Structure 1
Amino acid sequence: MPSSSTSRLPTIVDVARAAGVSRQTVSNVLNSPDVVAPATRARVETAISDLNYRPHASARRLRTRKSSTIGVRLDPMQNGISGAVLDRYLHALTEQADQRDLRMLLFTAADPLDEIGHFRRLLDGADVDSFVLTSTSYDDPRTDWLLEHGVDFVSFGRPWGRDMSDPQHRWVDVDGHDGVAQATRALLAQGASRIAFLGWPVPSGIGNERRRGWRETMLEHGVLDGTGLDALDLVVEDSVALASARVQGLLDQGVTFDAIVCASDSLALGAFMVLAQSVPIVGFDDTPVAKALGLSSVRQPVGEVARATLELLCDPADAEWSGEVGSAEDPQHRLLAPSLILR
C-alpha cells in the first residue's frame, strides 16, 4: 500500500502494479468484468479495495458517455414560505444522490418553455443523463417534450390531466387529499363543526386534491351540506396578504366558523394574522414559519420522496403491473402519505 505520508491519490497504475496485471486488465475489471478470469478479477478487486482506489469521474464519463448527473430546475423564490418544501427536497435529493455517486445539476428557467430549452442544451452537451421535474401542472409541455425525445425523467408531482398510470411517466407525489382529510378529522374530533377551507384557485391539481380532502371529510361527517360548505370554501392565490384579506372579508360578511384548514403554510400565516389564536388553524407543509408560530400543519415526507425519486430513476422495475396507481406495489409511481403535526 502507498505510504500514509503521501497525499497522492492511487492511480490505475498503482492498482495494476499491486495486482500484478496490466492497466488494460484493471480497466476491464472496472468496465467489463465478465471478460476477466475470476481469479485475476479477485486479485484486482482486492488491490482496488486495499488502495481505496476510485475511478476518475471525468474519465468514466468519456468512456461511457454518461455524466452521472441529474438535472433539476431551481424554482424561483416566491414568498419564502411555500418554497421551503422544495428546498428540503432538493437538499435530500442531493445528499442521497451523492450516496449513489451521482451529482445534481441545478439550473433556473423563466417558464416551462425556457426549461425545455435548458433540457435541449444540457442533453446536447452531455451534461446530464436525466431530469427531475418539480411543480407539475395541467398539460405540462415539459412532459410531452421529454417523452417525445425519449429522455429519462421522474417528476415530483403527478401528471395532472393526463394518464397517471402511464408507465413511461414515472412520478412520486404526496397524498394531499389524505393530509387535509387528516387535519379536518382532527379538528372535528376537537369539537369544531364549521370548518372553513382556504385554498388556491382552479385549475390546480395539488390544490384540487387538498380541497377535496376537506370537502369529502366534511360531507362524511354530515354537519354541513354542499351549500353550507360552499360558503366556507375560500379561494385565494398563495399570498399571505391576500389570505389575510380573504379571511377578513369572510368575517366582515358575518360568516361564522370555528376552525380553518389551509392549502399551505403561507395561507395559514395570512389567516393567523387576522384570527391569531381565536380559532384553530392548520396549514400544509410544516415549514419553519408554522413551527415558529405554533401552528399545526401537514408534513410532507421529503426524505422519502427523494429516496423514491432516485429509486424510480436509477432502479426502474421491469415487471408489468396492473394494480392501483400509486400503491406500494406500483413499480413506476409512488404516492406517499403525509403526517399531521398538531401543536
Structure 2
Amino acid sequence: MAQLPTITDVATAAGVSRQTVSNVLNSPDIVREDTRERVEAAISSLGYRTHASARRLRTRKSSTIGIRLDPMANGISGSIHDRYLHALTEQADARGMRMLLFTAADPSDEIAQFSRLLDGADVDAFVLTSTFHGDPRTEWLIEQGAPFVTFGRPWGIDDLNDPQHLWVDVDGQAGLAAATEHLRSGGASRIAYVGWPAPSGTGDDRRLGWERVVRSSLGYDDATIARRQVAVVDSVPAARAAVTALLDREPDIDGIVCASDSLALGTLMAVTAAGRAELPIVGFDNTPVAEAVGLSSVEQRLDEVATRTLELLMGERGRAVVQRALTPGEAHRLVTPSLVARAPVRFG
C-alpha cells in the first residue's frame, strides 16, 4: 500500500516550512497569497489530507459548530431554515468543520444547551437563527466570550456598530423594493402590501422596501400607505381573508407584494376567487410552492448567507474558528436578495 503524503512532503514540494503549511491549513489569511497558492497547489497534486482527530488533539479545538434545529414548521416558508442548514453543513465540511445539531424548547433552554456544550468543549462556536428584539441568547454568549454568528440582525440595538455581535442577514428592504419596482415597471400604479403584524424586525424591514418605492415613485401619502397594506399572521387562510377584504374596499388595486410566499399564495387564492387572476403578485422566499404555481418571488440566496456566516467565524479561507478583533463595518454581512420573475399558472 502506498504511503499517504505527510505535511513534510507538502512542505518539501512547495519549498516552505512545515509551519507555513500548517498556517495555510489553519489560518490561511496570515499567509502571503503567492505562498498560499504554492502550498495549495502542492496539497492538491499530492492528494494530502489532514488527519481530523490528530488536528483536534493538537489544536484543542473540536472543529465543530453548534446550531439549534428549529421545530418542525408546516408553513410554506418553513423550508428556509432547512435550506440554510444544508448549505452551511456542506460548506463547513469543505473547510474541515462539522455541524452539531441540538434542540431547545425556548431561548432559556437554548442558553442551557450553550452552557452544556461549552463546558464539555463540544463546540468551537455557535450559529443562531430566528433573532428577535431583546434576544437574551446573544447577550449571554457575549458575556461568556463564546464565538457566534447570527443569521438575522440583532433587532432593537445598534446592529451596525457593535463588533461583538457578528451577524449575517438578507436585505429584506431591498428585496421588497425590487419586487415593488418590478410591478411598477410593468405598469402597476396602485400596489398593495401584505405583511406581518408589528413589531416584527424582519417584517417591518420588508414593509419599508415597499413603502420606499410607492412613496418616491407613485406619490403615496400616509393615508394611502395605511389604506393599501394589511398585516396578518403568516398563514394562507389569513392572507386570503385579509386580501378579500382589501379588494372589497380597494377594488382598483393592480398589484400586490407580500412578505412571504405563504401570504402570496393566500393572496393568489383571494384574487382568483374575486375574478382577478391576472393581478400580479410577488412573494418572498422563492419556495418550491411559489415555483409550482408560477408566483414571482424574492430569493434569499441562502448559499451566500452560509458563505458569509463561515467567513465571519473563520475568515475567508480559514479552517478553524478564530476570535479576532473586528471593526463595526467588518462585523456583519448584508446579502442582497434577487427577484425571480415568473408568469403565473392560471387555474380554472
- Which TM-score tier does this pair reach, normalised by the shorter chain? 0.7 to 0.9
1:240 aligns to what?
Answer: 236
Aligned CA distance change for structure 1 residues 120 and 11 (closer, same or farther; 3 Å): farther
Query: How far does residue 63 in structure 1 lie from its aligned partner after superposition?
Result: 3.5
Structure with the greater alpha carbon radius of gyration: 1
Rounded to whole Å, the distance in 2 between the matches of 1:94 and 1:312 is 15
Q: Compared with structure 1, are the counterparts of its residues 177 and 321 closer, same or farther at alpha carbon in structure 2 (3 Å cutoff)? A: same
Aligned identity (percent) is: 59
Map of 1:243-282 to 2, 5 A cutoff? 243-253=239-249, 255-276=251-272, 277-282=277-282
CA contact 1:193–1:223 (8 Å) conserved in 2: no
Cα pair 1:286 1:298 within 8 Å, conserved? yes
Cα separation, partners in 2 of 1:321 and 1:58, compared to 1, 3 Å: closer
Distance 1:185 1:162 in 2: 30
Give the paired residue count: 310
Counterpart for residue 27 of structure 2: none
> Residues 319 and 123 from structure 1, CA distance in 2 versus in 1: closer, same or farther, beyond 3 angstroms?
closer
Aligned partner of 1:209 among 205, 208, 211: 205
Instruction: Report the CA distance between 1:252 and its aligned residue.
Output: 4.0
Q: Which residue of 2 aligns with 1:142?
A: 137
What residue is the counterpart of 1:225 in the other structure? 221
Q: Write out aligned runs for 1:1-343 (5 A).
A: 2-3=1-2, 54-164=49-159, 165-253=161-249, 255-276=251-272, 277-315=277-315, 321=327, 330-343=329-342
Q: Please state whether the residue corresponding to 1:261 is helix, strand or coil.
A: strand
Write the distance in 2 (CA, Å) between the matches of 1:203 and 1:50. 55
Match of 1:42 in 2: none
Change (3 A) 1:278 1:30: closer
Alpha-carbon distance in 2 for matches of 1:114, 1:69 = 20
Give 1:30 deviation, angstroms.
8.4
Report the alpha carbon displacement of residue 79 of structure 1 after superposing the two structures with TM.
2.6
Mapped partners of 1:310, 1:160: distance in 2: 21
Moved more, 282-291 or 219-228: 219-228
List runs of 5+ in structure 2 lacking aligned partners.
11-17, 25-39, 316-321, 343-348
Question: Are residues 10 and 220 of structure 1, via their aligned partners in 2, closer, same or farther at CA, if it must alter by over 3 Å?
Answer: same
Residues 1:30 and 1:299: Cα distance change in structure 2 (over 3 Å): closer
**Could you say which residue in structure 2 is the equivalent of 1:327?**
none
- What's the secondary structure of 2:224's corresponding residue? helix
Alpha-carbon RMSD across the aligned residues, in angstroms, is 3.0
Distance 1:53 1:218, change over 3 A: closer
Residues 88-107 of structure 1: CA deviation (Å, up to 9, x unaligned) = 11111111111100011111
Mapped to 2, the partners of 1:127 and 1:258 lie a distance apart of: 55
Provide the secondary structure at the position in 2 that maps to 1:82: helix
CA shift in 2, pair 1:292/1:228, >3 Å: same
CA distance in 2, matches of 1:320, 1:48: 30
Which secondary structure does the structure 1 equivalent of 2:76 belong to? coil
Q: Deviations over 1:242-266 (max 9, x none)?
A: 1112112223445541111000011
Range moving further from structure 2, 313-322 or 114-123: 313-322
**Cα distance in structure 2, aligned partners of 1:319 and 1:195:** 45
Whole-Å separation in 2 of the counterparts to 1:228 and 1:50: 65
How many Å apart are 1:110 and its aligned residue? 1.4
Structure 1: where are the runs of 5+ without partners? 4-8, 20-26, 34-44, 323-329
Tell me the secondary structure at the aligned position of residue 282 of structure 2: strand
Determine the C-alpha separation between the residues in 2 that align with 1:28 and 1:213.
Answer: 50
TM-score by length of 2: 0.80
1:64-117 per-residue CA deviation (whole Å, 9 max, x = no partner) reads 321000011111122342122222111111111111000111112111111111
Aligned partners of 1:79 and 1:239 also within 8 Å:
no
- Measure, in 2, the Cα distance between the counterparts of 1:286 and 1:248: 23
Contact 1:133–1:155, Cα closer than 8 Å, also in 2:
yes
- Whole-Å separation in 1 of the counterparts to 2:154 and 2:181: 28
* Deviation readout 1:14-54 (Å, 9 max, x if unpaired): x99x99xxxxxxx9998799xxxxxxxxxxx9x99898564
Superposed displacement of residue 305, structure 1: 0.9
Tell me which of the two structures has the higher relative contact order, counting C-alpha pairs closer than 8 angstroms and 6 or more residues apart.
Answer: 2
User: Does the aligned pair in 1 maintain the 2:189–2:218 contact within 8 Å?
Assistant: no
CA-CA distance at 1:289 after TM superposition: 0.6
- Give the secondary structure class of the aligned counterpart of 1:203: coil
